[in-house]
Amino acid sequence: MGAKPDTIPSAGAEPASAQALEVLRLGKTFRNGRTEVPALRDITLHVAAGEFVSVLGPSGCGKSTLFQIIGGLLHPDAGSVRMDGEEVTGKRGRIAYMPQQPALFPWRTMLDNVLLAREIAGGVDAAAREEAAGWLTKAGLGGYERSYPHMLSGGMQQRTAFVRALLSPQELMLLDEPFSALDALTRSDMQRWLLEMWEETRRSVLFITHSIEEALLLSSRIYIFSNRPGTVLHEIEVPFPRPRPANLADDPEFIRLRRRISDWMTEEQQRP
């Protein structure tokens, strides 16, 4: 017998692609009869494995459209989506998704809501239940496993939806403005909580937000989008080390970056 083809990389070798997500020259125009709404133009971005990346952009610039394309719910007119080096344009079931509204099923308990993705992926055993209960406890939701969504506050529902995404077997998480419906104080608590959870798991995350501060607090890199049709105006590296200190927003460099991004966004809003 001849030698086996060398398909398995040797220990320590770099995988073919370390990018959890690559979006290449993506374009999308919605067409209704004769009206055309260009939503995205020539979007190229990536998320490295274990990286937390944000998309920051004005309302209506195509952020949710981008997420729907990455999730395979919409087909782009141009460009492609790759995950772990594999072409996945138009394919569903590759991402863990946390929508703006928690979208919990009212007839399922908290525990059964967070186990949903595992159930769809092929079944829930005692180990999965134990893992889910462990994460709910870390999320400050211990003791509420058998509660139904209407018995939970908005912040608790968001945390439940996040744990559900965390337990999904897909590695890449897409979070579409998950905290926009919360009041400022709860939102700030949730941001700190998300940071802690992420620092423990280091999942690959693409996070959508309108908030400059939120993007700076959470991300390692930020893509700033233009008005519709969305294009990448700027890409910035966020220089703060992790774990991030609680008072990061008072750091002069943080304040400088926040002002610079705010100026860019104001300039973009005033563009004719």
Ligand X SMILES: Nc1ncnc2c1ncn2[C@@H]1O[C@H](COP(=O)(O)OP(=O)(O)OP(=O)(O)O)[C@@H](O)[C@H]1O
Tell me which residues touch ligand X (CB under 6 A).
30, 32, 37, 39, 57, 59-65, 228
Q: How far is the CB of 263 from ligand X (least distance, A)?
A: 20
For tokens 């563009």, name the residue: 271
In the bound complex, what is the minimum distance in angstroms from residue 272's beta carbon to ligand X? 18
Q: Which is nearer to ligand X, 17 or 231 (CB)?
A: 231
Q: Give Cα 194 distance to the centre of its chain.
A: 11
Q: Which is nearer to ligand X, 57 or 102 (CB)?
A: 57
Specify the residue, 60 or 140, whose C-beta has the smaller distance to ligand X: 60
Question: DSSP labels for 91-137?
Answer: --S-SEEE-SS----TTS-HHHHHTHHHHHHT---HHHHHHHHHHHH
Partner that binds at residue 105, options ligand X, Mg ion, none, CB closer than 5 to 8 Å by kind: none
- Provide the minimum distance between the beta carbon of 199 and ligand X in the complex, in angstroms, as a whole number: 27
Residue 244 touches which of Mg ion, ligand X, none (CB < 5 to 8 A by kind)? none
> How far is Cα 60 from Cα 56, in angstroms, rounded to an integer?
12
Amino acid, res. 271: R
CB burial of residue 106 (10 Å; 0-12, 13-18, 19+): exposed
Asked if 23 contacts 43 with a C-beta cutoff of 8 angstroms, the reply is: yes
Torsion of CA 115, 117, 120, 126, to 10 degrees: -30
Closer residue to ligand X, CB minimum distance, 32 or 269? 32
Residue list 81-140, contact with Mg ion (CB under 5 A): none
| Interface region with Mg ion, contact rule CB under 5 A, candidates 56-64, 138-146, 227-235, 239-247 | 56-64
- The contact pattern for Mg ion, residues 64-83, with x = CB under 5 A and - = no contact, is x-------------------
With respect to ligand X, which residue has the nearer C-beta, 65 or 157?
A: 65
Specify the residue, 64 or 227, whose C-beta has the smaller distance to Mg ion. 64
Among residues 206, 212, 208, 215, the alpha carbon closest in space to that of 265 is found at 212
62 binds, among ligand X, Mg ion, none (CB under 5 to 8 A by kind): ligand X
* Cβ neighbours for 116, distance < 8 A, ≥ 6 positions apart: 105, 108, 164
Closest approach of ligand X to the CB of residue 142, in Å? 33
**Contacting positions for Mg ion (CB under 5 A):** 64
